[in-house]
Amino acid sequence: MANIRAHIPLGILILLVALSAVVGAADDNRPSLEDMKGIEYHYQLIPENSLAKSGDQISSTFLEKTAFIDWENTPSLKEGFYIDTVDRLLKAHNKILRVRFDLETPEKSKITLKSRSTDMKTLDRMNKAAEGEIDAFFGNEAYSYSLNTKIPVGKHNVSTMTPEETFNLLRSSGSEIYSLTQALRESGQPLLKTHVMRMEKYKGTVSSGDHKGMKVELQIWTVKGNNTPVLAEIGFGGSIEEKQLLDALDAWLSQKLQSDTLLAKDAGASKTEITFAASANK
């Protein structure tokens, strides 16, 4: 057995070594729970009463119903959109392509390609550099990988940026996202850019009970130029090492939101799908 290689022709031995390397590389690129470094929890809320009519301010009704949370007065602001084919090719492959401009810190603006699935077996790892995360909602979990490319400051406008401009940026920057979206670009189907969404994020701190001091956030999304909320979401997250503590907050907070009749009918809906639904007649 120790001398078995002496009886294998050199050409076959080289082929076996090459195949072994390919299999090993494939194994390295398989999804793994060990890649999931963070976890996020979220609940979709009934959006209508979340934002004051003037915008950029949480409504008094919402503040009264979430009196157990101290909310900061000033939100951070982002604007962005999603890209897919009209017949939703990316959705069919459990992926999203998102463009997001950070209005507070422009250098954090980025394009994200994200794969997501409730089954690790069908999750696309995409690339070794992709960041893994767990999305939790009402006892359910989904797993995701994300790849990001920075948007150069001052060179693009969120309102006028087209899918073609987005792909040109990805190509010129050498982004892995460009090659991973080849099927999207070459599908022959028209590309859809959703409405540009204005995203207000308010930071909050639980002010009473066993979870006093823990951090949460409220996101309110509107179509840019319109103050009517399309979605409102409370969420929080942390590292996977904090999961036990975060699970306890999840159980407590979900019960509070249910008792205060704040939850949307589909409280686990994704922001992506809500945005595409709002853009259906675009």
Q: What is the pLDDT of residue 259?
A: 86
Question: What's the average model confidence in pLDDT over 12-27?
Answer: 43
Q: What's the rounded mean pLDDT across residues 179-190?
A: 95
Is residue 142 assigned to a domain? yes
Q: Which of 30-34, 44-48, 227-231 is the least confident region?
A: 30-34
Mean pLDDT over residues 199-216, rounded? 96
Give the pLDDT mean for 153-172.
97
pLDDT for residue 17 is more than 60: no
The pLDDT assigned to 20 comes to 40
Give the residue numbers spanning the domain of 197: 36-278
Q: Are 52 and 59 in contact (CB under 8 A)?
A: yes
**What tokens were used for 249?**
């907050």
* C-alpha torsion 146→79→231→69, nearest 10: 90
What is the domain-level CATH number for residue 115?
A: 2.40.320.10
**Predicted TM-score (pTM) above 0.85:** yes
Confidence category of residue 282, pLDDT binned at 50, 70, 90: low
First CA to last CA distance, the chain: 69
Q: Which range has the worst mean pLDDT, 12-16, 111-115, 187-191, 201-205?
A: 12-16
Which tens digits make up the pLDDT trace of 66-118? 999 999 999 999 999 999 999 999 999 999 999 999 999 999 999 999 999 99
271 is a domain residue:
yes
Inside any domain, residue 93: yes
pLDDT tens-digit map of 217-272: 999 999 999 989 999 999 999 999 999 999 999 999 999 998 888 999 999 999 99
What is the model's pLDDT at position 23? 40
Nearest C-alpha neighbor of 58 from the set 237, 219, 226, 256: 219
Domain count, the chain: 1
108-155 residue pLDDT tens: 999 999 999 999 999 999 998 899 999 998 888 999 999 999 999 999
pLDDT of residue 49: 80
In a domain, 68, yes or no: yes
Percentage of the chain lying above the pLDDT 90 cut = 77
Mean pLDDT score, 198-219: 96
Read off the tokens for 7: 């009886």
Which residues are paired to 146 by β-bridges? 114, 131
Burial profile 187-218: b = 16 or more Cβ within 10 angstroms, e = fewer: beeebbbbbbbbbbbbebebeeeebeebebbb
pLDDT value for 246? 96
Question: Shortest CA distance to 156 belongs to which of 171, 172, 169, 147?
Answer: 169
DSSP-derived 3-state class of residue 166: helix
With respect to residue 188, please indicate whether it lies within any of the assigned structural domains. Answer: yes
Whether 29 is in a domain gets the answer no
Give the mean model confidence (pLDDT) for residues 193-209.
96
Give the pLDDT of residue 30: 82
pLDDT given for residue 16 in this prediction? 42
